[in-house]
């Protein structure tokens, strides 16, 4: 079985400051790792994913996440945030090679970017 822990429920930050949203997971098998973003009153959108290969993955809007197998972590970072990044962010895992429809999500981190 897998589980995901997002260590911060809320992260307030000022515009143009760096941010890190933390995610740790537990699994007895290898997993794929994902970050999804949810804007108010919307569904989830995939931000980035780690499947294999390079442990650093990047999104098109400046976010990056690094897979750390020894620490079972997949923290999300952005060097300079914008007001438009205000949203809730969910870390998720799914078993390697298994069905990708069964995602295990953390409880989410609400990122609030202030001017």
Partner 1 sequence: ETGVTQSPTHLIKTRGQQVTLRCSSQSGHNTVSWYQQALGQGPQFIFQYYREEENGRGNFPPRFSGLQFPNYSSELNVNALELDDSALYLCASIQGAHDTEAFFGQGTRLTVV
What is the rounded CA–CA span in Å between residue 59 and residue 68? Answer: 18
Span 21-60, contacts to partner 1 by CB under 8 A? 32, 36, 41-46, 49, 51
Strands (E), 39-83: 44-50, 56-58, 64-68, 73-78
Pick one of 26, 71, 107, 114: the residue that binds partner 1 (CB under 8 A). 107
The count of residues interacting with partner 1 (CB under 8 A) is 26
Between 26 and 45, whose beta carbon lies closer to partner 1? 45
What is the rounded CA–CA span in Å between residue 39 and residue 23? Answer: 19
Q: Whose CA is closest to 106, among 75, 77, 68, 64?
A: 75
Pick one of 60, 69, 99, 115: the residue that binds partner 1 (CB under 8 A). 99
Interface contacts to partner 1, rule CB under 8 A:
4, 6, 32, 36, 41-46, 49, 51, 90, 92, 97-108
């Amino acid at each position: 079985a897998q589980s995901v822990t997002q260590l911060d429920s809320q992260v307030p930050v000022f515009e143009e400051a760096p941010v890190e949203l933390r995610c740790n997971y537990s699994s007895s098998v290898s997993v794929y790792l994902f970050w999804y973003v949810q804007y108010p009153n919307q569904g989830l959108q995939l931000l980035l994913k780690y499947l294999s290969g390079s442990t650093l993955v990047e999104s098109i809007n400046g976010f990056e996440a690094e897979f750390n197998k020894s620490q079972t972590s997949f923290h999300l970072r952005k060097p300079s945030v914008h007001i438009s990044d205000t949203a809730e962010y969910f870390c998720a895992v799914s078993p390697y090679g298994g069905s990708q429809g069964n995602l295990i999500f953390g409880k989410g981190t609400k990122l609030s970017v202030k001017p």
